[in-house]
Chains A and B, each alone.
Chain A
């Protein structure tokens, strides 16, 4: 009897996960496999001929100092986007959590930017900081600051970080707020009765209890900064000035779709895949240990 149940237990779960496996196979394993295969060739754009070069594409990329510099740019960019979007979101969530009146309205307003597509967000910020007609640029000019992200690398980086973080703050805010509201009031009240002030309560009780949410958001935000910020960068800086905002995923696009160099582009996708896998493994192996569920 038990054996029959066990037998059933293999096929039924398999059947139940089959749709997910199929979707993953079609939308992930197949294209990823194609990318790995294509990274071994230098094809012409029209697919009329291609030459096998082994690891030649990878060799070409890794010997290019501009490609290596792009790793540093990506590291700086994703760290900043993750810190800014999570930091601001946490701050806003803590404030909204303490609200008694009108918290619904605040929440709704704070969630709005999430509905704006990255490319549109990019255009909005680009107009505000436009070196000629931008509102913010004009006010900065009144303060005596000459804003010019078209030539200044630091300003360009700041602008794409702000524009990428803005919509993301809403998303993070939602999760942080839900996390905060899931913390039992009794625990916090007990600490308050013991004489712990707000900051002490936050540091020793709230933040540790929030760690599963924070960890989840950390993983998701890093992936976001690596891949989904393409639209913002494309609309605001196109990777410039010089190569100050050329992150890895932007270079995949530029080499593949502007340069028609599909071999190099495929090799870059493979490298990007490996980098993000390693990052995720590190996060789960080391940071998750510090998470209290």
Chain B
């Protein structure tokens, strides 16, 4: 009997080994560290545990820009991963690289996978879909900017913390009151170009660039020096001069000031939720991003930031089968709902949103559904579908520089935005030439 058991063990061990050898390995490069990195690792483990045909190996490759560079360098060396995480501003670069990627719609078709692009919410899907309706990459983490409010700070300045902050006019009044009460940081922001130009334009239904913000062709030109944008940036510049808007840096440096309780109002991504809810020792609240009252069409809808997953070209059919299975797993309602609740990123499918509501998450955590509402309130227009611009990471850098000139009082908004448009257009022409 004993020998029988041990020989059984040997047989099963051999079987397991054979099985392990038959498993197809899927390489997945991403840009997440810390809590987000742990959550991604957890998703991958769950997938690996639920089936035996494929093993997904997730590797962290640095921040968004570094991950994209690693993917490009690997492709040039013929050693690209199966799945590469690319941030939304790299979308145009990836789309133009026709021989380097395998479009998701094609992958799903060939793998015979059950895949419905309409399950994704419109403004998320639109960002990664061609004008012909073909989805090129798989949405993964998407967020949208909202207004974070430190209720204690408002109360401390003698302002009703429930005061209406839906419009920038109302925000302006509150900033005056905060300043008058001696508050040292009434308003700060993260990601200035994304929130105060890209989303501002979409939210007020004005173009950020011609050719449907670049969706309709590479011959797009920047157009964010229109009256709505100039008015907004000029107002922010005036607030900066008067000490009502405190500029902290190009990325999300302002987040530290807000979480420490120093700033009263903070415009930041809805994905700031994880950090703020764990660190803030004050009563905070999420409000919709303010809009300018009197601008026709406002508030339209805001656009997303974040990343999507691109499938790289040149892999075997078995690997593509596995990639299709993994991507389908990631966008399943249970996984997406958990991701949404853990991180503050948007539930990218309607089903995940409904599941979260059914689980009672929004009632327990008021305000966490504001980002979703803000994105889905209206059917996206040509101006609010998203942005598809080449060299966009660099164009953001130019915008940062010009906005800093406004905050420092060196330039007025019109001059700064005109200059940013002119400099950015040069980069767009270079991109057009490189991808002709």
Task: List the A side residues contacting B357 at CB < 8 Å.
Answer: none
Contacting pair B75 A43 (CB below 8 A): no
Within 8 A of B (CB), among A138-162: 150-153
Contacting pair A150 B247 (CB below 8 A): yes
Identity of the chain A residue whose Cβ is nearest the Cβ of B240 in the assembled complex: A151
Task: List the B side residues contacting A45 at CB < 8 Å.
Answer: 72, 93, 97, 434
Interface residues on A, range: 20 to 34
Within 8 A of A (CB), among B49-99: 65, 69, 72, 75-76, 93, 96-99
Identity of the chain B residue whose Cβ is nearest the Cβ of A57 in the assembled complex: B430
Residue with the greatest number of chain A CB neighbours at <10 A, chosen from B75, B402, B430: B430
B244-260 Cβ-contact flags toward A at 8 Å (1 or 0): 00011110010011001
Task: Give Cα distance in the complex from A138 to B434, angstroms.
Answer: 48
Task: List the A side residues contacting B370 at CB < 8 Å.
Answer: none
Judge whether A12 is part of the interface by a CB distance below 8 angstroms: no
Judge whether B44 is part of the interface by a CB distance below 8 angstroms: no
- Surface stretch bound by B, among A73-81, A104-112, A180-188, A253-261: A253-261
Identity of the chain A residue whose Cβ is nearest the Cβ of B68 in the assembled complex: A260
Query: In the complex, how many angstroms separate the beta carbon of B429 from the nearest chain A beta carbon?
Result: 10
Known A42-B433, A44-B96, A150-B248: A242·B404 in contact at CB below 8 Å: yes
Known A150-B249, A151-B247, A254-B394: A241·B404 in contact at CB below 8 Å: yes
Query: In the complex, how many angstroms separate the beta carbon of A5 from the nearest chain B beta carbon?
Result: 49
Known A44-B434, A131-B248: A257·B97 in contact at CB below 8 Å: no
Contacting pair B435 A44 (CB below 8 A): yes
Judge whether A243 is part of the interface by a CB distance below 8 angstroms: yes
Judge whether A28 is part of the interface by a CB distance below 8 angstroms: no
Within 8 A of A (CB), among B405-436: 405, 407-408, 410, 423, 426-427, 430-431, 433-436
- Surface stretch bound by B, among A46-54, A88-96, A115-123, A271-279: A46-54
Judge whether A167 is part of the interface by a CB distance below 8 angstroms: no
Contacting pair B434 A43 (CB below 8 A): yes
Contacting pair B436 A242 (CB below 8 A): no
Judge whether B275 is part of the interface by a CB distance below 8 angstroms: no
Task: Give Cα distance in the complex from A274 to B427, angstroms.
Answer: 25
Query: In the complex, how many angstroms separate the beta carbon of A228 from the nearest chain B beta carbon?
Result: 20
A238-274 Cβ-contact flags toward B at 8 Å (1 or 0): 1111110000000000110111110110000000000
Task: List the B side residues contacting A60 at CB < 8 Å.
Answer: 430
Query: In the complex, how many angstroms separate the beta carbon of B145 from the nearest chain A beta carbon?
Result: 21
Known A48-B97, A240-B400: A255·B394 in contact at CB below 8 Å: yes
Contacting pair B248 A259 (CB below 8 A): no
Judge whether A198 is part of the interface by a CB distance below 8 angstroms: no
Judge whether B283 is part of the interface by a CB distance below 8 angstroms: no
Task: Give Cα distance in the complex from A242 to B99, angstroms.
Answer: 37
Judge whether B100 is part of the interface by a CB distance below 8 angstroms: yes
Query: In the complex, how many angstroms separate the beta carbon of B400 from the nearest chain A beta carbon?
Result: 7
Task: List the B side residues contacting A255 at CB < 8 Å.
Answer: 394
Query: In the complex, how many angstroms separate the beta carbon of A256 from the nearest chain B beta carbon?
Result: 9
Query: In the complex, how many angstroms separate the beta carbon of B305 from the nearest chain A beta carbon?
Result: 17
Judge whether B393 is part of the interface by a CB distance below 8 angstroms: yes
Task: List the A side residues contacting B436 at CB < 8 Å.
Answer: 51
Residue with the greatest number of chain B CB neighbours at <10 A, chosen from A43, A150, A243, A259: A259
Judge whether B391 is part of the interface by a CB distance below 8 angstroms: yes
Residue with the greatest number of chain B CB neighbours at <10 A, chosen from A42, A50, A64: A42
Task: Give Cα distance in the complex from A261 to B93, angstroms.
Answer: 11
Contacting pair A48 B99 (CB below 8 A): yes
Query: In the complex, how many angstroms separate the beta carbon of B268 from the nearest chain A beta carbon?
Result: 16
Contacting pair B69 A259 (CB below 8 A): no
Judge whether A290 is part of the interface by a CB distance below 8 angstroms: no
Identity of the chain B residue whose Cβ is nearest the Cβ of A60 in the assembled complex: B430
Task: Give Cα distance in the complex from A60 to B426, angstroms.
Answer: 9
Query: In the complex, how many angstroms separate the beta carbon of B241 from the nearest chain A beta carbon?
Result: 11
Query: In the complex, how many angstroms separate the beta carbon of B102 from the nearest chain A beta carbon?
Result: 13
Identity of the chain A residue whose Cβ is nearest the Cβ of B71 in the assembled complex: A46
Judge whether B27 is part of the interface by a CB distance below 8 angstroms: no
Task: List the B side residues contacting A131 at CB < 8 Å.
Answer: 248
Judge whether B45 is part of the interface by a CB distance below 8 angstroms: no
Contact of A259 among B260, B394, B400 (CB under 8 A): B394
Contacting pair A261 B434 (CB below 8 A): yes
Contacting pair A260 B93 (CB below 8 A): yes
Query: In the complex, how many angstroms separate the beta carbon of B101 from the nearest chain A beta carbon?
Result: 9
Task: Give Cα distance in the complex from A258 to B68, angstroms.
Answer: 9
Task: List the A side residues contacting B427 at CB < 8 Å.
Answer: 259, 261
Judge whether A68 is part of the interface by a CB distance below 8 angstroms: no
Task: Give Cα distance in the complex from A264 to B394, angstroms.
Answer: 13
Judge whether B401 is part of the interface by a CB distance below 8 angstroms: yes
Judge whether A8 is part of the interface by a CB distance below 8 angstroms: no
Judge whether B397 is part of the interface by a CB distance below 8 angstroms: yes
Contact of A46 among B99, B256, B397, B431 (CB under 8 A): B99
Contacting pair B97 A46 (CB below 8 A): yes
Judge whether B262 is part of the interface by a CB distance below 8 angstroms: yes
Query: In the complex, how many angstroms separate the beta carbon of B343 from the nearest chain A beta carbon?
Result: 25
Task: List the A side residues contacting B408 at CB < 8 Å.
Answer: 151-153, 241-242
Known A44-B96, A64-B426, A132-B257: A258·B249 in contact at CB below 8 Å: no
Within 8 A of B (CB), among A13-50: 42-48, 50
Contacting pair B405 A47 (CB below 8 A): no
Contacting pair B72 A46 (CB below 8 A): yes
Task: List the A side residues contacting B76 at CB < 8 Å.
Answer: 46-47
Contacting pair B401 A243 (CB below 8 A): yes
Task: List the A side residues contacting B247 at CB < 8 Å.
Answer: 150-151
Task: List the B side residues contacting A152 at CB < 8 Å.
Answer: 408
Judge whether A284 is part of the interface by a CB distance below 8 angstroms: no
Q: List 7 A-B contacts (CB under 8 A).
A: A42-B434, A44-B435, A45-B97, A46-B76, A46-B99, A46-B100, A47-B76
Q: Which 4 A-B pairs have the closest CB atoms?
A: A259-B394, A46-B100, A241-B404, A46-B97
- Which residues of A does B touch, CB under 8 Å? 42-48, 50-51, 60, 64, 66, 131-133, 150-153, 238-243, 254-255, 257-261, 263-264
Given A42-B433, A151-B247, 8 more pairs with CB closer than 8 A? A43-B434, A45-B93, A48-B97, A48-B99, A240-B401, A241-B401, A241-B404, A258-B393
